[in-house]
Amino acid sequence: MSVLLTNARLIDPEAGTETKGALLIEDGRIAALGPQVDAPAGAETVDCAGMCLAPGIVDVGVKVCEPGERHKESFRSAGLAAAAGGVTTIVTRPDTLPAIDTPEVLEFVTRRAREASPVRIKAMAALTKGREGREMVEIGFMLDAGAVAFTDGDRVVENTKVLSRCMTYARGLGALVMAHPQDPVLSAGAAATSGKFASLKGLPAVSPMAERMALDRDLALVEMTGVKYHADQITAARALPALERAKANGLDVTAGVSIHHLTLNELDVGDYRTFFKVKPPLRSEDDRKALVAAVASGLIDVISSMHTPQDEESKRLPYEEAASGAVGLETLLPAAMRLYHAGGIGLPQLWRALSLNPARRLGLETGRLGVGAPADLVLFDPDAPFVLDRFTLRSKSKNTPFDGARMQGRVLGTWVAGRRVFGGV
Amino acid sequence: MTFRARHLLGIEHLKPDDIRCILDLSEHYVGLNRQPVKHADALEGLTQINMFFEASTRTQASFELAGKRLGADVMNMAMQASSLKKGETLIDTALTLNAMHPDLLVVRHPQSGAVDLLAQKVHCAVLNAGDGRHEHPTQALLDALTIRRAKGRLQRLTVAICGDIAHSRVARSNILLLGKMENRVRLIGPPTLIPARAAEFGVEVYDDMKEGLAGADVVMMLRLQKERMDGAFIPSEREYYHRFGLDADKLAFAKDDAIVMHPGPMNRGVEIDGTLADDINRSVIQEQVEMGVAVRMAAMDLLARNLRATLSQGAGHV
Res. B317: pLDDT tops 70? no
CA geometry: angle A403, A407, A412, nearest 5 deg: 110
Give catalytic status of residue B268 as yes or no.
Answer: no
The partner residue sitting opposite B198, judged by closest CB among A199, A202, A313, is A199
Rounded mean pLDDT, A258-285: 97
Residue of A185, A207, A273, A316 to mutate, interface with B, max B Cβ within 10 Å: A316
Number of structural domains (chain A) is 1
| Residue B197 with chain A: CB contacts under 8 Å | 194-196, 199
Q: Name the amino acid, one letter, at A99.
A: A
What is the span of the domain harbouring residue A207?
Answer: 55-361
Distance, in angstroms, between B239 CA and closest chain A CA?
25
Mean pLDDT across chain B, nearest whole number?
93
Dump pLDDT digits (tens) for A77-89: 999 999 999 999 9
Res. B40: pLDDT tops 80? yes
Structural domain contains residue A16 = no
CATH of the domain at A173: 3.20.20.140
How far apart (Å, rounded) are the C-alpha atoms in residues A392 and A330? 10
Dump pLDDT digits (tens) for A367-406: 999 999 999 999 999 999 999 999 999 999 999 999 999 9
- Report residue B84's pLDDT band, with 50, 70 and 90 as the boundaries: low
Of B7, B69, B108, B134, catalytic: B108
pLDDT value of residue A366? 97
| Residue B230 with chain A: CB contacts under 8 Å | 189
For residue A6, what are the β-bridge partners?
Answer: A47
Cis before A358? omega within 30: no
Dump pLDDT digits (tens) for B233-283: 998 899 999 999 999 999 999 999 999 999 999 999 999 999 999 999 999
Structural domain contains residue A374 = no
Give catalytic status of residue B310 as yes or no.
Answer: no
| Residue B89 with chain A: CB contacts under 8 Å | 313, 316-317
Chain A's closest residue to B229, CA to CA, is A204
Structural domain contains residue A409 = no
Give catalytic status of residue B109 as yes or no.
Answer: no
ipTM summary value: 0.88
The partner residue sitting opposite A194, judged by closest CB among B132, B134, B196, is B196
Give catalytic status of residue B59 as yes or no.
Answer: yes
8 Å CB contact between A322 and A314: yes
Res. B48: pLDDT tops 50? yes
Structural domain contains residue A126 = yes
Q: Name the amino acid, one letter, at A9.
A: R
Structural domain contains residue A404 = no
How far apart (Å, rounded) are the C-alpha atoms in residues A77 and A100? 20
Q: Name the amino acid, one letter, at A135.
A: E
DSSP 8-state code for residue A155: -
Chain B's closest residue to A318, CA to CA, is B114
Res. B82: pLDDT tops 90? no
8 Å CB contact between A254 and A302: yes
pLDDT value of residue B88? 75
- Angle between helical axes of B16-33 and B137-151 (0-180°, round to 10): 70
- Report residue B1's pLDDT band, with 50, 70 and 90 as the boundaries: low
A195 contact B CB<8A: yes
The partner residue sitting opposite A317, judged by closest CB among B90, B112, B172, is B90
Structural domain contains residue A137 = yes
CA geometry: angle A395, A422, A407, nearest 5 deg: 60
Rounded mean pLDDT, A40-63: 96
Rounded mean pLDDT, B195-210: 95
Question: Of B313, B288, B308, B312, nearest to B103 (Cα)?
Answer: B308
Chain B's closest residue to A189, CA to CA, is B230
Rounded mean pLDDT, A6-16: 98
Structural domain contains residue A342 = yes
Q: Which residues of A188-220 are buried (b: 16+ CB within 10 A; e: fewer)?
A: eebbbbbbbbbbbbbbbbbbbebbbbbbbbbbe
Residue of B117, B164, B170, B201 to mutate, interface with A, max A Cβ within 10 Å: B117
Structural domain contains residue A78 = yes
CA distances from A390 to A46, A254, A323, A326, A330 (A): 30, 32, 18, 12, 10
Provide the sign of the torsion angle of the four alpha carbons B141, B146, B152, B157, taken in this order.
negative
